[in-house]
Amino acid sequence: MKIVRVALIAMLSLTATFGDAQPDQNNDATAIAELPSDDIKLKFKFAQSKQTQGLLISEALASAKIQEDPFSLVEQVTFELIEVIKSHRQTNPTNEKSFFSAIREVLRPHVDFSYMARMVMGSYRKIATNQQRDEFARAFRDGLIETYGRGLLSFNNEKIILADQSPLKKGQNKVYVKQEIHGVDKIYPLSYTMRKKKTGKWMITNVTINGINLGKTLRNQFLQSAQKNSNDLDFVISAWANQAI
C-alpha cells in the first residue's frame, strides 16, 4: 500500500533548524585573568558549577515549554530523528537493528502507539483478549517504526512549510498541526492529529497526508483482514506482525 508508506515516511520526516546559543564568557574571562592562581581555580570551579546549573534549568524550562506546545514538540522530535539518520549513515549504515532501536527511542515518548493500535482494532478490540490486544499493540508499533524507519533513510531534505500555527485556546486538548511537503513536482498537505493527555503532555495520534487518513486506512486494512480470515484475531495479528504495513 504505497500511500500508507508515504504517509508513514512523512509522519515525522520534517526539517528543523535549531541554533546553538553560545554563552557570553568575555566578562568572566577578564575577571579570572586578574585573580591569583588559587582564586582562578576557585572561580573557575564556581563558574563551571553556575554554568552547569544554568544549563540544567534552561533545558528543563525548554523541555516543559515543548511539552506544552504541540508545534514545538513536532520540531524537537524531527530534530532528534534527523540526528539519528545522520549518525546511522555516517557510523554504521548496515546495522538496521540498531537504527530501528534508535528511532523507537525517539518516538516512544511522543507517539501514542497504544491509542493508535486501539483505534485500528476498532470494534474488534471489544472481543479481543488482553493478550491479543497487547500482542497487536506491539506488532502495530514495531511495524509502524520499521516501515517509516526505512522511509526515513530516503529522506532528502524536502522542503516542509508550517501551514498554520493558530494559538491554542485555554483547555484545548486536540489540535491539528498542518504542514506542506514540497516535493519535486507536487505539494502534499500534511496534518498531524495531536492529543493532550491528562498529564498535560501532547502526543501524536494520527496523520493525514494528501487527504489520506492513516488511522482510517489502517483500520480498514485490519477490518478486511479479520473478515477475510473468519475473524481469527490470532491469525490477523500474527500476519500483521510478519509483514510491513
Does residue 196 fall inside a structural domain? Answer: yes
Q: Mean pLDDT throughout 86-97?
A: 90
Does residue 38 fall inside a structural domain? Answer: no
Element (H or E) spanning 172, and its range? none
Q: What is the pLDDT of residue 44?
A: 44
Q: What is the pLDDT of residue 173?
A: 95
Does residue 34 fall inside a structural domain? Answer: no
Q: How many structural domains are present in the chain? A: 1
Does residue 186 fall inside a structural domain? Answer: yes
Cα 28 from Cα 6, distance rounded (Å): 52
Cell of 63: 523541555
Does residue 16 fall inside a structural domain? Answer: no
Percentage above 90 pLDDT, the chain: 40
Element (H or E) spanning 214, and its range? helix 214-228
Does residue 8 fall inside a structural domain? Answer: no
Q: What is the pLDDT of residue 185?
A: 81
Q: Where are the beta strands (DSSP E) in 69-201?
A: 159-164, 174-182, 187-196
Cell of 242: 510478519
Does residue 231 fall inside a structural domain? Answer: yes
State the residue range of the domain holding 235. 69-241
CATH number at residue 189: 3.10.450.710
Kindly report, residue by residue over 115-168, the tens digit of the pLDDT: 999 999 999 999 999 999 999 999 999 998 988 788 777 767 667 777 778 888
Does residue 183 fall inside a structural domain? Answer: yes
SS3 label, residue 24? coil
